[in-house]
Copies of this chain bind each other. A is one copy, B any other.
Amino acid sequence: MNSVFLTNPLFERVERARRRKHKIRETHITLAHGSGGRAMHDLVEGIFLEYFKNPMLDRLEDQAVFEVNGAKRMAFTTDSYVVDPIFFPGGDIGKLAVHGTVNDLAMSGARPLYLSAGFILEEGFPIDDLRRITASMQAAAEEASVQIVTGDTKVVQKGGADKIFINTSGIGVVETTANISSSNARPGDKVIVSGTIGDHGTTILIARGELELETDIESDSASLHFLVAEMLDEALSLGTPDAIRALRDPTRGGVATTLNEIAVSSDVYIEIREGLIPVREEVKGACEILGLDPLYVANEGKLIAIVSSEIADKLVERMQKNPNGIGACIIGEVKPQPQGIVSMTTGFGGTRIVDMLAGDQLPRIC
């Protein structure tokens, strides 16, 4: 079957699309440019990489890693949070801002140390809400053993912004010698997800209240660096420090988009199995009603790991002992060809291409 699969004309079309130069056809910003998917990639590669050209940015990771005067490697990352609504089951914009930036550092194997907090507030924003958000940020920072050490506050006139936007940037120190990168996946590696997918994005959409759905779904928003530290420790203690090839948190664009990014960066083919992907029943149900595919829905407390097959099972066992990895499991594997492609074997034995998110399923999800 695989050989038929390799000559599938659909594959060829996708591969051709991949090879085209990133081109921005639009003249104005659309919501899709912030989606995490194809349009955002085109914008980032067509404008930001074009002008800011430097090797660190070109790596297209979620963080920059560099040495400072021969000291240990440092990681540096930034994220702005514009989530709507600002309070939702399982979290709020402040908690999300801490978790998201901690996770971007963690995905390089870094131990997060310090965060900055930049607030853009709309005139008229309730100060009690700001207190609640600030307290929530501090609780999340304490839980993650990071400190918020520098900040900034801007206020814009009523209608100039929607309530509150928060930027958190973060600095961490990379203590592992492992070279973790989206470009390191190799044929034969296994694909691990740390738990159920789609929880955050589904929660936000339901919290907007546009649909009268009542569920118990909560955002999975969580800091993952303690989980990553245990994974690195496991790989080290098994004598295979380089067995963890790539780590990514599948936020905007979901698992599908993250896997596509890895497949493209590593020039590999990634095959996942629908039956192995953990999705809560409530999330599955809500996504059906909402017309969403959980594979494209944002997560804020999950990671994707590409790891050497020899340690995959042991690593999953270790992950399951961490509160943020209880649902960890293998969902697929890495193959050599066709490069840059992700596909999913469905329950009925069929195979479908899992492309990057096109358009914008869910604006302001984080």
Known: A71-B71, A127-B24. A150 touches B51 (CB 8 A): no
> What number of copies of this chain does the assembly contain?
2
A74 at the interface (CB under 8 A from B): yes
Q: How far apart sit A154 and B168, CA to CA, in the bound complex (Å)? A: 13
Known: A79-B152, A116-B78. A363 touches B33 (CB 8 A): no
Known: A130-B29, A364-B156. A135 touches B77 (CB 8 A): no
Q: Is the pair A121, B48 in contact by a Cβ cutoff of 8 Å?
A: no
Q: Is the pair B80, A167 in contact by a Cβ cutoff of 8 Å?
A: yes
- The smallest C-beta distance from A343 to any residue of chain B, in angstroms, reads 28
A122 at the interface (CB under 8 A from B): yes
Residues on the B chain within 8 Å of A119, using CB: 80
Q: Is the pair B173, A137 in contact by a Cβ cutoff of 8 Å?
A: no
Q: How far apart sit A53 and B206, CA to CA, in the bound complex (Å)? A: 35
Instruction: Kindly identify, within residues 78 to 114 of chain A, every residue whose CB is under 8 Å from any CB belonging to chain B.
Output: 78-82, 84, 113-114
Q: How far apart sit A80 and B119, CA to CA, in the bound complex (Å)? A: 7
Residue of B whose beta carbon sits closest to that of A64: B149
Residues on the B chain within 8 Å of A141, using CB: 52
Size class of the contact patch on chain A: 35 or more
- The smallest C-beta distance from A105 to any residue of chain B, in angstroms, reads 11
A359 at the interface (CB under 8 A from B): no
Interface centre among A63, A81, A165, A173 (most CB of B within 10 A): A165
Q: Is the pair B173, A68 in contact by a Cβ cutoff of 8 Å?
A: yes
A155 at the interface (CB under 8 A from B): yes
Q: Is the pair A82, B156 in contact by a Cβ cutoff of 8 Å?
A: yes
A20 at the interface (CB under 8 A from B): no
Quick one: which of B68, B114, B124 contacts A28, CB cutoff 8 A?
B124
Can you add 4 more A-B contacts, CB < 8 Å, to A27-B127, A34-B156, A78-B150? A29-B125, A47-B131, A78-B152, A167-B167
Residue positions of A touching B, CB distance < 8 A: 24, 26-35, 40, 43-44, 47-48, 50-52, 54, 56-57, 62-64, 66, 68-72, 74, 76-82, 84, 113-114, 116-128, 130-131, 134-135, 137-138, 141, 147-157, 159-162, 165, 167, 169, 171, 173, 363-364
